[in-house]
Structure 1
Amino acid sequence: MSPFLSSDKQSALQHVKDYKPHIEGRQLRILLHGPSGAGKSSFINSLQSVLQGRMSTLALAANISHDSFTKEYTTYKIEKENPNTFYPFVFSDTMGLSEYKGVLVDDVKLALNGHVKDDYRFNPEHKLSEGDQYYNTEVNPNDKVHVLVCVIPANTAGQIKGEVIRRVLEIRDVARELGIPQIAVITKIDQACPEIREDLKNVYRSVYLKEKMEQFSVDVGIPMNCIFPVKNYSEEITFNDDIDSLILSMLSLIIDFGEEYMNHKFSQPEVPVTKALTDLELVPGCYTVAAHCS
């Protein structure tokens, strides 16, 4: 089914609006990471714009790619139509990854486990330490990450190599150990391919974009069916159904993956570490099963 049919857009929008975690009091936390200049902040603004029906610039963004514009760990809530009511999911934004500076992998690991407080200013030289005022020692389930999203720019995807890929892989390994579902979002697709820039409906017909997605899948191991192309609202001042459809279909899947993970995670009884290790020793070949797209 084409992702650009208006009925699909309305169905996805309704799915997002109707979403309510099965476990009362839970909040779905989605963590964004990726190279500097990938469009993480613009992605958050685009999501908020589509859901609120008006252009948003809540997350500060810039049209530069050589350095990360985001410096602090920030969590964004999206307000619903009724004032002072919010969607039961939040997006946490991080400083971009880069070859020589940028967010430290150790800080992203801490964020995955809920140890990073909002407004923590990332330091490329030193990781957040226990005892710091921004280190969260009393972690509750809503502080932890339930979906990890790697944001990659299509126009420079082929240039993301070496240290950045190594850091992405290291972050993926930690998320996998925690069972956190992972997806990738490919942004700036219109800048990467003139065919798409001319008509966004060509996104799934573009051989060039498919090759970029396949190469990234090989580089970091994220399956192709967990890599989603989107176009952020960056220069537009009016809404576009094609842009909305890509964003909403991707957000619907993020919600589904996160909800399944939360239901599984919080339905399991807490087992003391010593007992868990003993049990594993008694079960030859025991292994854990990874969640979606891990």
Structure 2
Amino acid sequence: MAYNRNSNSEPEFIYVLGNKTVKTGQTVTLSCEANTSEVTAKWEKAGYRLQCVEGKHRVHKKGTRFSLEIMNAKQEDEANYTITLQNHSGSVSCSAMVTVELTDWRPLETQQEPMIMALKNFKICSGEVRELRFLLHGPIGAGKSSIINTLKSIFEGHQFINCLTGSDSTGTSFTTKYEKFTIGTLPFAFYDVMGLESNEGKQSRGVRIDDIINAFKGHIPDNYKFREDMPMIEEHRDYITSPTINNKIHCLVSVIPADRLSMMSEDVINKMRNIRAEASKLGIPQLVFMTRVDKVCELTSENLGKIYQSKKIREKITMCSNKLGVTENCIFPVKNYHNEIRSNEQLNCLALQALTQIVYSANDYIKRWSSRQKQFE
């Protein structure tokens, strides 16, 4: 097909630049074609004129085709690139994003069956402990209840939606009771609590820190209904005065939404820090599930298998670590089932990898408890 090469033609694109994803060290080429060759081409990177470096950039023009080669791609090459074509009749521009994948900064299990079988065959280290107990806490809409639904979906073979989830639009927590959720016949119990909220003036909102501490210690019974205006007290008729190890929490799981992390109020962050501090005093292990990862990274949204190559996810993990004071290797990015109607093995693998870590952390807590018990025998 012949294109008008007349210098009087106002430049137009026949095809534009396309977004590219490249691994570190590879070469990426951006190319487009115009309706005329009688133009000057100007390349920009992130809104600034591209300063071509020998051995790094190579600009080509062949007839009506224009291209930019970026060699030995590095993280600093990740940017939005723009080409502007201009002649005396006018100008036209188009842009494309170059994404540079990190090398895997954490290993990702890619097969779910070995993890499922290992968890089904898991045995708690102490015969006195019937089940490992996990307490989920975090802001409203973080995905605490959805984590339980996701895990039940994986092990029970169908999409599980019986555990009500908080409303993003209303900011309302459906969790009002200290309710126990199990997964099939696995010796694991998850406890969801009301979402943490900022206090408005002197009004206490959301779950109370006092109640979470009482849950840690085993004083709160199953199905206790939380009250925002009053914590569980010793005088309450259902207060467990002499809790056993089977009443206590064995691992604290903080649930943080990746896409709202930067917008979380300092009040909620401080509450989470205080809860972690109380868990530390009791020797309870603490890990973080960082949800909604697909909302902050296009690469991850398109392919969860590349989550540990994502620069944006790593940045969110670092931010979460700084805000909560949790080491990065204790933060696990996950995606919950939301609008999917079929099982997704990549999604399952992320959830199973996180579950495996909290199971072993809780079991280590039981080992320490058993060791202390033997010292007093």
Q: TM-score, normalised by structure 1?
A: 0.85
Deviation at 1:2, TM superposition (A): 4.5
Find the partner of 1:38 among 124, 142, 150: 142
Which has the higher mean CA deviation after the structures are superposed, 89-98 or 201-210?
Answer: 201-210
- Which residue of structure 2 aligns with residue 170 of structure 1? 274
1:148 aligns with 2:252: yes
Conserved? CA contact 1:75–1:92, under 8 Å: yes
CA contact (8 A) 1:118 1:134 kept: no
Matched, 1:251 2:355: yes
> How many Å apart are 1:155 and its aligned residue?
1.1
Partner of 1:3: 108
Whichever of the two has the greater Rg, that structure is: 2
Aligned with 2:261 (options 157, 180, 185)? 157
Gaps of at least 5 residues in structure 1 are: 80-85, 273-294
Q: What runs of 5+ residues in structure 2 fail to find an aligned partner?
A: 1-105, 200-204
Shift of residue 121 of structure 1?
Answer: 1.8
CA drift at 1:161: 2.9
TM-score by length of 2: 0.67
Q: Which of 16, 41, 50 is residue 119 of structure 2 equivalent to?
A: 16
Q: Is the 8 A contact 1:55 1:237 kept in 2?
A: yes
1:21 maps to a residue whose letter is I
CA distance in 2, matches of 1:126, 1:192: 37
Opposite residue 122 of structure 2, the aligned amino acid is: Y
Match of 2:66 in 1: none
SS of residue in 2 equivalent to 1:151: strand
Which structure: greater helix fraction? 1
More displaced stretch, 132-141 vs 233-242: 132-141
SS at match of 1:175: helix
Cα offset for 1:193?
A: 2.0
Instruction: Please list, as runs of the form range in 1=range in 2, the aligned pairs for 1:39-118 lying within 5 A after superposition.
Output: 39-64=143-168, 66-79=171-184, 86-100=185-199, 101-118=205-222
Q: Alpha carbons of 1:94 and 1:270: their partners in 2 closer, same or farther (altered >3 Å)?
A: farther
The alignment partner of 2:290 has SS state of strand
Indicate how the Cα distance of structure 1 residues 239 and 157 shifts in structure 2: closer, same or farther if over 3 A, else same: same
Aligned to 2:338: 234
Structure ranking higher in strand proportion:
2
Q: Is residue 103–residue 124 contact of structure 1 (8 Å, CA) maintained in 2?
A: yes
Amino acid across the alignment from 1:49: S
Q: Deviations over 1:30-70 (max 9, x none)?
A: 11001111000000010111111111123111442623221
Structure 2 SS opposite 1:32: strand
Find out whether 1:182 has 2:283 as its counterpart: no
- What fraction of aligned residue pairs are identical, expressed as a percent? 36
Name the amino acid aligned to 1:191.
K
Cα distance in 2, alignment partners of residues 125 and 202 from structure 1: 45
Structure 1 residue matching 2:180: 3-state secondary structure: strand
* Rounded Cα–Cα distance in structure 2 between residues aligned with 1:271 and 1:25: 16
Report deviation, 1:5: 2.1
What CA distance in whole angstroms lies between the structure 1 residues aligned with 2:109 and 2:358?
A: 19
| Aligned positions, number | 264
**Root-mean-square deviation (Å):** 1.7
8 Å contact kept, 1:68–1:95: yes
**What residue number does 1:285 align with?**
none
* Structure 1 position 270, deviation (Å): 8.0
What is the DSSP-based 3-state SS (H/G/I as helix, E as strand, rest coil) of the residue aligned with 1:31? strand
Task: Tell me the CA shift for residue 226 of structure 1.
Answer: 0.3
